[in-house]
Structure 1
């Protein structure tokens, strides 16, 4: 696991966008894993800026979403598929139908998880998966105590998660879905390169536990310790509890020029 500490989220966006550009330059038909929420937004905005500048194309790429609510109608503004459509897809040149989420499969949610796994396998697997980390260490909707061997499946949203997300539903808890579809931790570990982002002091403990703590379902993001090519990009606040911060800074500064993440 490589840990990169940057001053600001905007600096992280530049590094991660560089990784996207390098991947799509050598593999134009790469398969991307897309996360939602505020954490990856600076990356998506940087990717859109580079596309507008003419130096980046997604025309041959495909993408899979990490997760989706169960029970929201297609086109609902709080569906994660709509988030990606608004924040990334409409600003770049993905082909029609090149992006799918686990909730896009027209089937029973209990059947959609295994079918989504098959779609990912049929596409050749995910080349670059972007991730955020929750303050409790969750990845996607793999909450604490999720199986480290889990695959895409239906999960019940905890009361805390529903309460946290009620702000997106005009504060009405009754409107927040009770279930979701999420890629599992083992699904995430199958990606060829996983980049986890963490910003702000509120993520500091989770980042510490994920990077330097024991492998544990209590902190699902710690599963990335098993990934053969995992990169953790955090700002100074999120890195504030890391015991080996200077080591991470020194090793990243000493990387060969042009090696990238």
Structure 2
């Protein structure tokens, strides 16, 4: 499944440091905004896309026409918890860009029926006209959003169980491993593939193996990020460390 046609559709941009990586990502976002009257941007959380958001916040561009959709959200955290992705996005995007909070959509982890919450999120994305540009990170086990190894390549927004590796990777944001949630709501791989353009940002040596598997290995549920090879419009921004295993 991972033929040269799919791989040739992935544009690789390599930068030495976080600042230049963030600038390249911001340029791509602004290109998307310029080409559409009411753009829809999908946003990821984590350390990799943070330089991009800082670059956007440092400019003077108008984001009032943009609708935003988060990739995922933890299940089990109290409303307003500092590490909930709703709060992270408020701190990193909504307030710095001066957005109307109503334009930022996040899966509802407090719904009594989480399967219905996933379906409602899919409907909300569709009602907005679909996502024009989806910003992504990659987990060190190859997960995309919170689609862990084994996730169906056509999966939709749903409840997902986080692996021990993912929870340990995110422990740095919490007081202890026990505080890291065990479940989340995440856009599915099929949902992500429907975005018109994908932007994957990878930073750090610990992402190098996963990035190489995603871009040069077989398309397989064991490396969820390998679905990038099935999309026709992908840009990968990687620092030297993350790209170190790529030719």
Q: 1:185 deviation in Å? A: 0.6
User: Under a length normalisation based on structure 1, what TM-score does the superposition of the two structures give?
Assistant: 0.87
Distance 1:93 1:29, change over 3 A: farther
Q: 1:73 deviation in Å? A: 2.0
Deviates more, 1:14-23 or 1:100-109: 100-109
1:71 match? 76
1:202 match? 206
Asked if 1:167 is matched to 2:176, the reply is no
Structure 1 contact 60–95 (Cα < 8 Å) conserved: no
Aligned partner of 1:121 among 104, 117, 126: 126
| RMSD after superposition | 1.5
Structure 1 contact 28–58 (Cα < 8 Å) conserved: no
Asked if 1:46 is matched to 2:55, the reply is yes
2:98 match? 93
Kindly report which structure 2 residues correspond to 1:126-165, keeping only aligned pairs within 5 A, or say none.
126-165=131-170
Structure 1 contact 62–94 (Cα < 8 Å) conserved: no
1:192 match? 196
Asked if 1:212 is matched to 2:235, the reply is no
Aligned partner of 1:33 among 42, 67, 70: 42
User: Under a length normalisation based on structure 2, what TM-score does the superposition of the two structures give?
Assistant: 0.92
Q: Unaligned 5+ residue runs, structure 2? A: 1-9
* Higher CA-based Rg: 1
Asked if 1:234 is matched to 2:238, the reply is yes
Distance 1:150 1:200, change over 3 A: same
Distance 1:97 1:104, change over 3 A: farther
Cα displacement string for residues 7-40 of structure 1 (whole angstroms, at most 9, x for unaligned residues): 2222121111111112212324200101001110
User: 1:126 & 1:105 partners in 2: Cα distance?
Assistant: 24
Q: Unaligned 5+ residue runs, structure 1? A: 244-261
Q: 1:114 deviation in Å? A: 1.0
Q: 1:232 deviation in Å? A: 0.8
